[in-house]
Amino acid sequence: MALYSREDDVAIIAVNNPPMNALSHHVRKDLIKFLKVAEADENVTAIVLCGDGRTFPVGADIKEFHKSVSALGPTIIDIVHALEKSSKPTVAAIHGSALGGGLELALGCHYRIAMSTSKVGLPEVKLGILPGAGGTQRLPRVIGLDNAMKWIAYGHHHPAGVGASLGLIDRIVAKGGDIRRSAILFARSMVGKGLGQRRLSNVSVPDASKVEELMAKHLKEVGLRTRGALAPVVCLQVIKSSALLSYKDGLESERQGMMTLLASSESKAQIYSFFSERQVSKWNAPGIANHATAKPMQVRSIAVVGLGTMGRGIAISSLKAGKKTYVVELNSKALAAGVKYIRGYIETMKKRAQISEEQAAAMQSAIIPVSSYNGIANVDLVIEAVFENMKIKKEIFGKLDKVCKPSTILASNTSTLDIDEIASATKRPEKVAGMHFFAPAHIMLLLENIYGRKSSAETIATIMDIGKQMKKITVLVGNCVGFVGNRMYGYYTTESVFILEEAAYPEQVDKVLTDYGFAMGRFQVGDLSGNDIGYKIRTGLGITHKQQPAGTPERKRGVLRYCPLGDFLVEKGRLGLKVGKGWYKYEGSRTPIPDPEVRKIIDEYRTRHHIVPRDISSEEVLQRMLYPLINEGFKILEEGIAANPWDIDMIYQYGYAWPRHTGGPMYYAFTIGLPQVLKVIEEHWKAAGASEPHWQPSTMLTWLVENHGNPDISQWMPLMQKHKSKT
């Protein structure tokens, strides 16, 4: 709802719809009603629009999207026009954030004042839509086309101070000030001043003459940064109309753009992503604990064991979260190098104004270098980040168990290894868990937390809470080889080399993936992270080309199909970008260049095995790359390793750069339709048989299709649970 009050001659209309003052239908009804009341009251000379509680309205109510209630009048645009038309000065008093429809309301006001700590922006593009309440036509009239294109096509939130420097905010109220009082005084001071030029629909776009040049520039940038997404392009086209058409016709172009985007699968995927991102914090470890009941332990200090690339990033994340951080290396040289890196990184963040001087000083003094396990006996949480080797990890956990106080939680940053086996090296398996960070750990937003068979509710709640304090998208999953992310990714890489064998070169496969929306294809990613990583894992499994006894068929490992092309590359020193050659060659930059030598390796291999390369369609490449991931995702859900499909999707968006506008592997399967996905998987399974188990259809996928066709993704788990409880 909204509340109406008076302070002498100033009417105050305050949106009161916790938690974020979204502009739900009941709020919109109140706003239009109270604007009429204020307009009709002779004793009112000015109107202040504000938000109660945490914030000014942050936009339309996203829960109403794709429901009929979102279109029920009054719409946000009706309120924007009523604010602008008012004969009395209207002032938006912004605290917290004014976003989306919230900022559009503020643009309808004649004046805007904001707390210095506030944020403003039109982030609709991140929901796959555009600002549909006049924002695409009004913002360029205030801040110019160039800025408006940037703000709307990328959807960033901007500090109010930046808004003020562009003329969007008329006055800034310093931290600690009273925004409502300031707005009342400001509104009163504007009474009697002309409103004509304060009505943005009357104003023209300042840099309209540059429209074509700006369009070309922004279309190019958007194409590079938000590959394949429709919304940024439509946003730009609609903003362009603000420079070429009347306000009224521009609004019509905005309306049409909005209809196109709302009907797209992209906006549905983005809205799903918005809620999924928040949903993952409501974690559940079935039969052990859930977010509502389990209480985290207070963690004041964290020790990071191992200062390689991962350990350094984890230590920086810990310092950023304000923890006293013990950094541990038994070798003094490695310790010094790690500490130097971390200290240097903090200074760089300070120089780039990413952190304040005080924060930097606090982080520097919170680093405690340690060269023996005894030095971390009293820490609350240890995160081990040493080499991916079970024997070494078990040795370390055994030692930590002996020296650390009984309440210390011991976590491993393993990306693949069995957490229960690691826990078995200790006498405190209830205090052991996995915290799988993604490289670089201080930049990547994903944290995949793993609970073991014996992890306690408190341990799980604590690692989830630490993820939140580190500002990570933290997803809880169960224990299995590779957990969720890497277990699924394994089949993506497996299938990619099978495609090389049969039909394509790396650049052809990668192109299909980047056209789909990935920033990089699988082979470029391999080169970037180092092809030796996968090689080491395969060596651990005893399956590389070199490890096989003479006479072993090159393309088989037991009954399983195998492709050694990745082994050949590493054995020829093609480790990836770091050595200037891998699946591609690199000539002094990070740009991958298709390499005739790689083609030669593939061609010779094909000839040796009498493989005649065939034409392959982009559709087939995409299906073969993505459907094994999806199939494995269903197996993971079936086994309870992930509690919900959106957990998997968030892991893929934040850990593997899955394009957000398609939602993630599981949501993408829903968009394609489960029956169609299953049909393709079954065809491959029929053709490949037991030698390619990743094509064996998941029981859950099969059951859902046979019994429910393509049920809504929100229903997959409830339907399965109902089915299981009956059988």
Closest approach, Cβ 131 to ligand L4473FGL, in A, equals 6
Do 221 and 232 touch, CB atoms closer than 8 A?
A: no
Query: Least distance to ligand L4473FGL from the beta carbon of 65, Å?
Result: 8
Contact string 589-618 vs ligand L4473FGL (x = CB under 6 A): ------------------------------
For strands 119-121 and 158-159, give the pairing.
antiparallel
Candidate list 17, 86, 97, 318; residue touching ligand L4473FGL; CB under 6 A: 97
CB nearer to ligand L4473FGL: give 21 or 449.
21
- Residues 94, 99, 500, 636: which binds ligand L4473FGL (CB under 6 A)? 99
Applying CB under 6 A, the span of 60-68, 87-95, 238-246, 307-315 interacting with ligand L4473FGL comes to 60-68
Q: Among all chains, which residue has been given the structure tokens 């820490």?
A: 379
Residue 485 makes CB contacts below 8 A (sequence gap 6+) with: 415, 436, 438, 446, 448, 651, 652, 655, 656
Concatenating the DSSP letter of every residue in 198-237 gives: GSGGGSPPTTGGGHHHHHHHHHHHHHHHSTT-SHHHHHHH
The stretch near ligand L4473FGL (CB under 6 A) out of 52-60, 393-401, 407-415, 611-619 is: 52-60
> What distance in Å separates the CA atoms of residue 395 and residue 716, rounded to the nearest whole number?
41
User: How far is C-alpha 628 from the chain's CA centre?
Assistant: 22
Letters for 265-304 (x = contact with ligand L4473FGL by CB under 6 A, - = none) are: -------------x--------------------------
State which of residues 61, 465, 532, 567 lies at the interface with ligand L4473FGL (CB under 6 A): 61
CB of residue 381 to ligand L4473FGL, shortest distance in Å: 24
Q: Which helix (H) or strand (E) holds 78?
A: helix 76-85
Examine the residue annotation and report whether 124 is marked as an active-site residue of this protein.
yes
State the amino acid at position 207 in one-letter form.
D
Min separation Cβ 641 and ligand L4473FGL, Å: 24
Point out which span in 59-67, 301-309, 333-341, 613-621 binds ligand L4473FGL (CB under 6 A): 59-67
Q: Which is nearer to ligand L4473FGL, 267 or 486 (CB)?
A: 267
Question: Which of 117/494 has CB closer to ligand L4473FGL?
Answer: 117
Closer Cβ to ligand L4473FGL, 26 or 278, answer by number: 278
Q: Does 60 bind ligand L4473FGL (CB under 6 A)?
A: yes
- Of 104, 384, 388, 507, catalytic: 104
Q: Which window, 98-106, 196-204, 236-244, 334-342, contacts ligand L4473FGL (CB under 6 A)? A: 98-106
What residues contact 388, with CB distance under 8 A and at least 6 apart?
414, 415, 416, 417, 536, 537
**In whole angstroms, how close is the CB of 722 to ligand L4473FGL at the nearest point?**
25
Candidates 125, 135, 120, 100; CA nearest to 241 is 135
Minimum distance from residue 663 beta carbon to ligand L4473FGL (Å): 16
Q: Which of residues 109-168 bind ligand L4473FGL (CB under 6 A)?
A: 123-124, 127, 132-133
Out of 26, 63, 453, 609, the residue judged to bind ligand L4473FGL by CB under 6 A: 63
Distance from C-alpha of 465 to C-alpha of 373, rounded to nearest angstrom: 25
Listed ranges 35-43, 56-64, 296-304, 319-327: which one lies at the site for ligand L4473FGL (CB under 6 A): 56-64
Report the C-alpha gap between 160 and 235 in whole angstroms. Answer: 23
Q: Which of 559, 561, 584 is nearest to 574 (CA)?
A: 584
Backbone angles phi, psi at 541, to 5 degrees: -85, -5
Write each residue from 457 to 496 as x if it is in contact with ligand L4473FGL (CB under 6 A), else as -, in one continuous string: ----------------------------------------
Choose the catalytic residue: 42, 84, 124, 329.
124
Show contacts with ligand L4473FGL in window 546-585 (CB under 6 A). Answer: none
- Compute the least distance from the CB of residue 35 to ligand L4473FGL, in Å: 17
Q: Which two tokens stand for residue 604?
A: 């010779």
Q: How many residues bind ligand L4473FGL (CB under 6 A)?
A: 20
Distance from C-alpha of 364 to C-alpha of 352, rounded to nearest angstrom: 16
Burial status of residue 391 (CB atoms within 10 A of its CB: 0-12, 13-18, 19 or more): exposed
Residue nearest to ligand L4473FGL (CB): 100
Query: Of 76 and 285, which has the nearer Cβ to ligand L4473FGL?
Result: 76
Instruction: At 648, list the tokens.
Output: 């998997």
Residue from 13, 14, 15, 20 in contact with ligand L4473FGL (CB under 6 A): 20
Which string of DSSP letters, residue by residue, matches 417-460?
Answer: S-HHHHHTTSS-GGGEEEEEE-SSTTT--EEEEEE-TT--HHHH
d(CA 57, CA 52): 9
Phi-psi region at 520: left, alpha or beta (left = phi > 0; alpha = psi -120 to 50): beta
Q: How far is CA 308 from CA 33, 260, 347, in A?
A: 62, 48, 19
Which of residues 156 and 188 has its CB atom nearest to ligand L4473FGL in the complex?
156
Measured from the CB atom, the residue of 278 and 608 that comes closer to ligand L4473FGL is: 278
Bridge-based pairing of strands 158-159 and 284-285 is unpaired
Interatomic CA distance for residues 234 and 254, integer angstroms? 9
Out of 46, 56, 59, 118, point to the residue binding ligand L4473FGL (CB under 6 A): 59
Q: Which of 10, 11, 14, 22 binds ligand L4473FGL (CB under 6 A)?
A: 22
Q: What is the DSSP string of 275-316?
A: HHHHHTTS-EETTTEETTT--PPP--EEEEE--SHHHHHHHH
In angstroms, give the least distance from the CB of 483 to ligand L4473FGL.
25
Closest CA to 301 of 367, 220, 397: 367
Shorter beta-carbon distance to ligand L4473FGL: residue 60 or 499? 60
Least Å distance, CB 257 to ligand L4473FGL, is 11
Q: What's the distance, CA 68 to chain centroid?
A: 29
For residue 575, the minimal CB distance to ligand L4473FGL (Å) is 40
Question: What residues does 4 pair with on adjacent strands?
Answer: 13
CB of residue 129 to ligand L4473FGL, shortest distance in Å: 6
326 neighbors 370 (Cβ within 8 angstroms): yes
Identified binder of ligand L4473FGL from the candidate list 89, 100, 108, 697, rule CB under 6 A: 100
Which of 29, 723 has the CB closer to ligand L4473FGL?
A: 29
Give SS3 for 322.
coil
Least distance (Å) between residue 123 CB and ligand L4473FGL: 4
Comparing CB distances to ligand L4473FGL, the nearer of 22 and 49 is 22
Reply yes or no on whether 104 is catalytic: yes
How many other CB atoms are found less than 10 A from the CB of residue 723?
14
The residue among 399 and 468 lying less far from ligand L4473FGL, judged by its C-beta, is: 468
Long-range own/partner contacts, residues 557-565 (CB < 8 A, 24 or more apart): 559/690, 559/691, 560/691, 560/692, 560/693, 561/498, 561/688, 561/691, 561/692, 563/494, 563/497, 563/498, 563/500, 563/501, 565/497, 565/500, 565/501, 565/601, 565/602, 565/605
In this complex, which beta carbon is closest to ligand L4473FGL, that of residue 279 or of residue 702?
A: 279
Cα separation of 404 and 156, whole Å? 44
Residue closer to ligand L4473FGL, measured from CB, 59 or 338:
59
Give rounded-to-5 percent helix, strand, coil for the chain.
Answer: 55, 15, 35
Task: Kindly list the residues in this chain that would bind ligand L4473FGL in the complex (CB under 6 A).
Answer: 19-20, 22, 58-63, 76, 97, 99-101, 123-124, 127, 132-133, 278
Catalytic residues: 104, 124
